[in-house]
Structure 1
Amino acid sequence: MEKLDVLVLLDVSGLEDKEKFEKHLKKEGFHTVPDEAFVYTAESSTTTFSTKAYILEVFKKGLQKNTFLDANLIFLLNETPYPAYYYDKNSNDFELSESKEAI
C-alpha cells in the first residue's frame, strides 16, 4: 500500500498549553508546519478510513489533555479534502460539521 500524505488544519481557540498539545501530536507522528499556527503533517501507511479515525482520535486525546474553548478540524489525505469536524464538548468527541464548509 502506498503512503498517504496527511495535512491537518486545526482551528482552536483558548488552548491553554500549545506546547503540551504539540508534544502529544509529535509523539503520535504529527509534525508542525513551520510558520503556520496549528497546521500539522504526517505520513500514513494504512487505509484512508483507518487514517481518518487515527487523526480524529489523536487530536481528540490531545485536546482532552488540555483546556480550550472550541475546536474545528479539517484534513487532507494525498491532497483530497475531507469534511470539516467540530469538537462537541457534550460528547467529548469530534463530530462531522453540519455545513460541509471548510474552516
Structure 2
Amino acid sequence: MNVILIVEVEGLNEKTVFEKHLNKEGFTPIPNEAFAYEGNTTTHMFSTRAFILEVVEKGLKKSGFESCRIIFQVGENPMEAYLFDHEKDTFEQVAV
C-alpha cells in the first residue's frame, strides 16, 4: 500500500538530518512539495501507524524542533493526524 506523509514542523534545526533519517526508513520526498513524503508498506495498518510515528519522532529528536503536526494516509484508509506533545514526549492523535 502507498503511504503519504505530510509534516508541519516549526523550529526544525536540521532539515537535512531529518530528511536523511526519513529517507533511510523508506520515505522519499514528493517533488515540489515541502515536507511531503511517500513510501510503501506491506504490513497491517496498526504496525504501519506505529512505524510512521516512531520514524518521524526519531527524526525530529535527532534534528531538534519546537512543534510538529503530521498527517498521513495509508492506502485507501482515512487520513490520520497527530500532534507531538513535548510533556508526554510522544505523538497524540488529533481530529482531522
TM-score normalised by L of structure 1: 0.88
Corresponding residue for residue 87 of structure 1: 84
In structure 2, C-alpha distance between the alignment counterparts of 1:84 and 1:62, rounded to whole Å: 17
Q: CA deviation at 1:83?
A: 2.6
Identity, in percent, stands at 44
Counterpart AA for 1:16: N
In structure 1, C-alpha distance between the alignment counterparts of 2:56 and 2:79, rounded to whole Å: 15
CA RMSD of aligned residues (A): 1.0
Q: CA deviation at 1:58?
A: 0.3
| Per-residue Cα deviation, 1:52-89 (whole angstroms, up to 9, x for no partner) | 11000000000111211100011001143333100011
Q: CA deviation at 1:18?
A: 0.6
Question: Structure 1 stretches (4+) deviating beyond 3 angstroms?
Answer: none
In structure 2, C-alpha distance between the alignment counterparts of 1:65 and 1:33, rounded to whole Å: 22
TM-score normalised by L of structure 2: 0.94
1:5 equivalent to 2:2? Answer: yes
> Which structure 2 segments of 5+ residues have no match?
none
Q: 2:50 aligns with which of 50, 53, 56?
A: 53
Q: 2:39 aligns with which of 24, 30, 42?
A: 42
In structure 2, C-alpha distance between the alignment counterparts of 1:66 and 1:17, rounded to whole Å: 5
> Which structure 1 segments of 5+ residues have no match?
none
In structure 1, C-alpha distance between the alignment counterparts of 2:50 and 2:60, rounded to whole Å: 16
